[in-house]
Amino acid sequence: MKIALLEEKTVTYGDASHGGISMSEFDELGEVVRYPLTPADKVVERAADCDAVIINKTLFTREVMEALPKLRYIGLCATGYNNVDLDAAREKGIAVTNVPAYSTNAVAEQVYAYILYFAKRIHEQASFTRGGGWIRSDTFSYLGIPAYELDGKTLGVVGFGSIGQRVCSIARAFGMKVLCCTRTPKEAEGISFTDIRTVFGESDYITVHCPLTPATEKMVNAELLSLCRPSAVFINTSRGGVVDERALAEALKDGRIAGAALDVLEHEPMTEDCPLYGANNCIITPHTGWAPRDTRERLIHTAADNLRQWMQGRTVNRVDCRIRHENQI
């Protein structure tokens, strides 16, 4: 079987000291061809004689699949699969698999890295010390950079999937009050389920964990942000498109909220004209919440095992589950 890894650079980078991880598990499954990245106009050419492709964000449209009659398997190194036309895949008998919930802990931890960034301000205190400020201080503790406890603060969570649930459980360990807005009514100990306006209006920290759909696109808009406390911090690790970036930039500029932390943007990589580029009290990380080294190792192992299981006639992590598996390789 011939396997094309069309986007190696999206999951591994350089050698081990610079974020590189091994993709050798795929070598055990067949003849592997590797590409760091694959532009849209090269997908058909590079996958032309392949039985399986391993991708992340590459678009696999109906037109692409029609041009690849040998293709029988599309493996995603991701949880999301909106870049694959599942209807076309089902019609053509192409198996599509994903890697669900591999980054739940990693993303939840990133949320609290942001929360603690704003609450404890250790980066500012360390900078003060590094610049000689403590040497010049006339008191044993410098109190000019105030920090805050999380105990008793209110965390607002939009979305109650695996990541949202993990974020809520950590909040309770910190002694935080938790408000949660979710599409379907839920009950969970220590969590008050409510509407999104209440979440934005009554929370000290607000974090979004929902998919990007027509219903959630630019959901976080000027109206919602106007409900926030001036001391509130907004966090997004879900999809950039759920936020009206211009409205968020204006809210930060005018001091209507205290800060924002974002790991995702509407356009990635970030563009120079992004409204949030250089915005007041806004920290932006380059979509790395999912990407700790051990998290990516888990991702690659599961992606390789998905293909291995499919080759053995088993159904594992299939997102096109309405088709019947026929191993023709």
Using one digit for the tens of pLDDT, what is the confidence trace for 180-218? 999 987 899 999 999 999 999 999 999 999 989 899 999
3-state helix, strand, coil in the chain (%, to 5): 35, 15, 50
Catalytic pick among 239, 245, 266, 296: 239
Alpha helices in 214-292 (DSSP H): 222-226, 245-253
For all residues of the chain together, what is the average pLDDT? 95
| pLDDT value of position 329 | 27
Catalytic pick among 63, 217, 268, 326: 268
Q: What are the backbone dihedrals phi and psi of residue 58, each rounded to the nearest 5 degrees, phi first?
A: -60, 135
d(CA 198, CA 133): 41
Sheet of 177-181, strand order: 191-193, 177-181, 154-158, 205-208, 233-236, 259-262, 282-284
pLDDT tens, 283-299? 999 999 999 999 999 99
Percentage of residues in the chain having pLDDT higher than 70:
96
Catalytic pick among 34, 46, 229, 287: 287
| 328: pLDDT strictly greater than 70 | no
Cβ pair 12, 20 in contact under 8 A? yes
Stated pTM of the model: 0.91
Whole-Å CA distances, 6 to 3, 29, 68, 75, 291:
9, 16, 14, 11, 18
Domains, the chain: 2-102+292-311 (3.40.50.720), 104-284 (3.40.50.720)
pLDDT tens, 1-16? 999 999 999 999 877 6
Question: Minimal CA–CA distance to 284: which of 257, 262, 316?
Answer: 262
pLDDT tens, 85-107? 999 999 999 999 999 999 999 99
Cβ pair 71, 65 in contact under 8 A? yes
CA dihedral 236, 241, 244, 246 (to 10 degrees): 90
Whole-Å CA distances, 188 to 184, 210, 218, 300:
13, 18, 28, 33
| 320: pLDDT strictly greater than 90 | no
314 as an active site residue: the answer is: no
Question: Minimal CA–CA distance to 207: which of 247, 176, 253?
Answer: 176
**Please, what's the b/e burial string for 239-249 (b: 16 or more CB within 10 A of its CB; e: otherwise)?**
bbbbbbbebbb
223 exposure class (CB count in 10 Å sphere: 0-12, 13-18, 19+): exposed
For residue 100, say if its preceding peptide bond is cis, omega within 30 degrees of 0: no
pLDDT tens, 213-250? 899 999 999 999 999 999 999 999 999 999 999 999 99
Using DSSP, state whether 50 is helix, strand or coil. Answer: coil
267 as an active site residue: the answer is: no
Using DSSP, state whether 164 is helix, strand or coil. Answer: helix
268 as an active site residue: the answer is: yes
| 322: pLDDT strictly greater than 60 | no
